[in-house]
A and B are shown apart, each in its own frame.
Chain A
Amino acid sequence: MIQLVSFYIFASIVIASAAMVIFARNPVHSVLWLIVAFFNAAGLMVLIGAEFIAMLLVIVYVGAVAVLFLFVVMMLDIDFAELRAGFIKNVPLGLLLAIVLVAELVLGIGAYQAGAVQLGTPEAGVATVSPTVPNIEAIGALLYSKYVFLFETAGLILLVAMVGAIVLTHRRSHNTRGQNISSQVQRRPEDATRNVNQPVGQGIEL
């Protein structure tokens, strides 16, 4: 009973907020609706017993990705009149995208009704959902035994991507002056100030 009620609550909020992402006029509102959608999708994950995935969804997407979206969108200075001006120009592209999406949807539903694709025996390759074994243990046992090479390859690809991003953005500029933290920390009052007992009527040498 309570599963059913919560499923419908989570699912309807996911769909409604996903629709609001598109319909909201203000891009900041769009991002916030997207966060609501992520959050309720995490609720759906909890309902099927995948609490680890649910938490990861919130930590990664809500906690990191959406913050970056919000960061960028908040900085934008958006002129709504200008946005609407480009509407006619982009109609063909939008129509094309819409047709592709509708075709994919129809194909997907058709394929689904024709029967699921066999992906192999579920016992060997799928982490089990059971109330006694924690999600993390089930996924970890599988990830570090059967899929260890794939897992490490994924890690390697991410590392290369990170190094690549740093190489692309890192520029050694010659006009900026970096800070030497240790010299800042080691600076003492004696290095920067001096006490003088200046006779009256004489100027001070700086």
Chain B
Amino acid sequence: MTSFFQNLGMSYEAAWFTATIAGILLIALPLMLAVALIIYAERKLWAAFALRRGPNVVGPFGILQSFADGLKVFLQETIIPSASNRGLFLIAPIITFTVALMAWAVIPFADGVVLSNINVGLLYILAISSLGVYGVVIAGWASNSKYPFYSAMRAAAQMISYEVSIGFILICVVLWAGTFNVGGIVEGQRSHIFGFINAYAFNPLLFPIAVMFLISSMAETARAPFDLTEAESELVAGYQTEYSSMAFALFWLGEYANVLLMCALNVILFWGGYLPPVDWAPLYAVPGIIWFFAKILLMFFIFAWVKATVPRYRYDQLMRLGWKVFLPISLFWVFLVSGYLMFTGHFA
């Protein structure tokens, strides 16, 4: 995109600057729209699982429901509890929201269509997602109220626990792809199985960790069945209890942007990213971005399906799953994958 702006007669610096800003807007604005629509889609899905109708009043099929909700919270008064820590109370939702958007910088939407094609792309995602916990923890502490505080404690412990196993799972994929570059990982999946299936997930050695990554990503985004941070039967609304209007909406948007990001990561790491499912020339006529979004939506359907059907975990079960089940298995899998790659001479 930089060369496009340079052709308009700008200097390199100005063109690069304009192109980066344009790229950020091109990702962030459609993402917000996608979040609004995905919330609607999820509500419709839950309604279908529960044999209800779901939102069906605002606009055709209720498709404008999220926008109506957005307008509603926008017009509400922002209530700041007098006992809260005012500055941090307001910063917390901004952190959650910003961090949720930042990681999208290294996600390739199609071949070569990526805002920042860096060598340490996957590490960048890991680093940014480790920042996500601060939004929740600061919100819980700044609210100066007991339920948000419990929730913040839970969130911090939960996210750190699952980040460990996510790290090991990423290492397995990186070993196989031979690169930390996100685009390189997608390209590594081209005709991976039997020379024509474009996905790591069908590799028998990687399929178990694909499942583990799906479960860990649900825990990492604090989605059901791991939504202990906002368990309404115990903690009112968790860290969001004291929030209202736009501050609450920012949490909401950030949460769903994070869920979409985790779906995108699942797709990129194990299901071939922007590549078509099989390596067959006519399928490449469909643009990569459409394959990518189709796969993300499929993954999101699984997320919504799980949320609609699986009961919430108990907190000790959540910790046990993270530390006593996923951590040893993923650690063992790193040995297994690296050993396999070494003995088969993958890098020779």
A residues with a Cβ closer than 8 A to B are 1-2, 26, 28-29, 32, 35, 42, 51-52, 55-56, 58-59, 62-64, 67, 70-71, 74, 134-136, 179, 181
Q: Is the CB of B120 within 8 A of A67?
A: no
By a CB distance below 8 angstroms, the chain B residues around A32 are 88, 138
Q: A28-B141, A62-B130, A74-B149 provided; 5 other pairs, C-beta below 8 A?
A: A51-B119, A55-B120, A59-B126, A63-B160, A70-B156
Q: Which one, A26, A74, A135, contacts B119 given CB within 8 A?
A: A135
Task: Please report B residues at the A interface, Cβ cutoff 8 Å.
Answer: 13, 85, 88, 118-120, 123-124, 126-128, 130-131, 133-134, 137-138, 141, 149, 152-153, 156, 160, 163, 179-181, 316, 320
Q: Are A35 and B134 in contact (CB under 8 A)?
A: yes
B152: A residues at CB distance < 8 A: 74
Cα distance A59–B119 in the bound complex, in angstroms: 16
A67 CA / B133 CA spacing, docked (Å): 8
A71 to B157, CA, bound (A): 9
Given A28-B141, A71-B156, CB of A63 within 8 Å of CB of B163: yes
| In contact, A59 and B13 (Cβ under 8 angstroms) | no
- A181, closest chain B residue (CB): B320
Per a CB cutoff under 8 Å, which of B88, B127, B156, B179 touches A55? B127
Contact B137 A67 (CB under 8 A): yes
Task: Check B131 against A63 for contact (C-beta < 8 Å).
Answer: yes
- Chain B residues within an 8 Å CB radius of A52: 120, 123
Known: A1-B13, A62-B127, A181-B320. A134 touches B119 (CB 8 A): yes
Provide the bound-state CA to CA distance between A64 and B127, in Å. Answer: 10
A59-B127, A62-B131, A63-B131 known; A136 vs B137 contact (CB < 8 Å)? no
Shortest C-beta distance, B149 to chain A (Å), equals: 8
- B156–A58 contact, CB under 8 A? no
Residue contacts A-B, CB under 8 angstroms, 6 given:
A42-B127, A52-B120, A52-B123, A55-B123, A63-B130, A136-B180
Say how far B116's CB is from chain A's closest CB, in angstroms: 11
Determine which of B88, B119, B160 lies in contact with A67 in the assembled complex, contact meaning CB atoms within 8 Å.
B160
Q: Quick one: which of B13, B131, B160, B181 has the most chain A CB within 10 A?
A: B131
- Given the complex of chains A and B, what is the CA–CA distance between A134 and B127 in angstroms? 18
- Given contacts A51-B118, A64-B160, A70 and B137 within 8 Å (CB-CB): yes
**Considering only CB atoms, which chain A residue lies closest to B167 in the complex?**
A59
Which residues does chain A contribute within 8 Å of B130, judged by CB atoms? 58-59, 62-64
Interchain CA distance A2-B156 in the complex, whole Å: 36
